Amino acid sequence: MELPRKNELSKDVEVMMAQMSDPAVQRDANKMKELSAELGHKRELLDAASKWEKNQRAKEEVKAIMADGGDEELMELAREDLHRLVKEEAELGKELENLILPRDPRDSRNVILEIRAGAGGDEAGLFASELFRAYSRYGEERGWKVHVVSVSSSEAGGYKEVVAEVGGKNVFGTLKYESGVHRVQRVPETEKQGRIHTSTVTVAVMPAAEEVDIEIKPEDLKIDTYRASGAGGQHVNKTDSAVRITHIPTNTVAAVQDERSQHKNKAKAMSVLRTRLLDAQEAERQQKEASDRKSQVGTGDRSEKIRTYNYPQDRITDHRIKQSWGNIPVVMDGGLGQIFKDLQSAVKEKQLGEND
């Protein structure tokens, strides 16, 4: 793979900065956002390319010293420098290769996160709430904003379903490989015989859609208002603040009741609806272009079992990359970083292999 040159990247950065100073571009919020993300990536590349070229110059200088000869002490220092520079060269090369791999333009987007209890009754609901807490804790530690849009609780205190907006830096790029079926194996607290139960939870991570991404005709919408139910304060059951929007052609539904204002709930419901419609559109496109999935971890199909959490053996296994981790309590308290890092590394290795 050919590595980018520093001078070429510098020119690219200058051109993009000039574009962003154009008043016409500044009036286009979406174009500015797109250029800003691309400029950030180019600057990352430029920084890495600068370090690479500096490393190459230093390596040639050390080789020249060694070729001229000298006392043994000087040669020993030169050999140590060369060893360090060769190791640094390998690390910088890998960093550059990762940076020039095809990027998903959606990685910088916020997401709509949906978690639903599957098989396993109360245990599935409890694990759904624990998994949501794990994602929330991970995000909060990184400055993400996690806002619950809607929730349906189970009698045992878990979640039948929870939908949330997650906003921050590189949210979709971090969470996108979490879509699928998560299986948990453990002994429920109510189990007197000590038998291990198996339950499942389904996770969907969708990049938040913007108005320009998909056209929704007003005549295709059915909007219902009703009184909110459950926790929420004094306004609950006193005003018709909850909103349910149905996209008639696809029968896609989004319901929000977490705000006191009907107007705010309607805006959030539209955001969720738009995201679900775009996600369905993307899934259809990927089915038609199956070859585009070669670089992905798994198929992205939500019916695919992607991970097992085995509590008795304190082992979490991701079936797509055939890798396991321990210390479940720490992971479920938000310590998901290593899992995310290993998944992203596996994807990059596949992409590098395909580009060789």
Q: Tokens 């980018």 — which residue? A: 4
Exposed, middle or buried, 242 (CB in 10 Å: 0-12/13-18/19+)? Answer: buried
| Rounded CA separation 74/272 (Å) | 66
CB atoms closer than 10 angstroms to residue 75: 13
Task: Give the DSSP H or E segment for 150.
Answer: strand 145-153
Break the chain into its structural domains and give their ranges.
Answer: 6-100, 111-212+299-355, 218-287
Is 156 within 8 Å of 126 (Cβ atoms)?
A: yes
Please give the structure tokens belonging to residue 235. 């306004």
User: Which residues in the chain land under pLDDT 70?
Assistant: 1-3, 192, 211-212, 228-240, 259, 285-303, 353-356
| Rounded CA separation 341/297 (Å) | 13
| Rounded CA separation 119/303 (Å) | 12
Q: What is the pLDDT of residues 36-64, one digit of tens each?
A: 878 888 888 889 889 999 999 999 999 99
Q: What angle do CA 192, 198, 201 make, to 5 degrees?
A: 125
Cα–Cα distances in angstroms (integers) from residue 315 to residues 148, 216, 229, 318, 324, in the given order: 29, 45, 39, 10, 6
Task: Give the DSSP H or E segment for 287.
Answer: helix 262-288
Is 177 within 8 Å of 299 (Cβ atoms)?
A: no
CATH 3.30.70.1660 fits 111-212+299-355, yes or no: yes
Among the four given CATH numbers 3.40.50.970, 3.30.2180.10, 3.30.160.20, 2.40.30.110, the one describing domain 218-287: 3.30.160.20
pTM of the model: 0.69
pLDDT of residue 294: 43
Characterize 190-229 residue by residue with b for buried, 16 or more Cβ atoms within 10 angstroms of its Cβ, and e for exposed: eeeeeeebebbbbbbbbbbbeeebeebeeeeeeeeeeebe
Write the DSSP assignment of 31-43 as a string of letters: HHHHHHHHHHHHH
118-120-122-128 Cα dihedral, nearest 10 degrees: -40
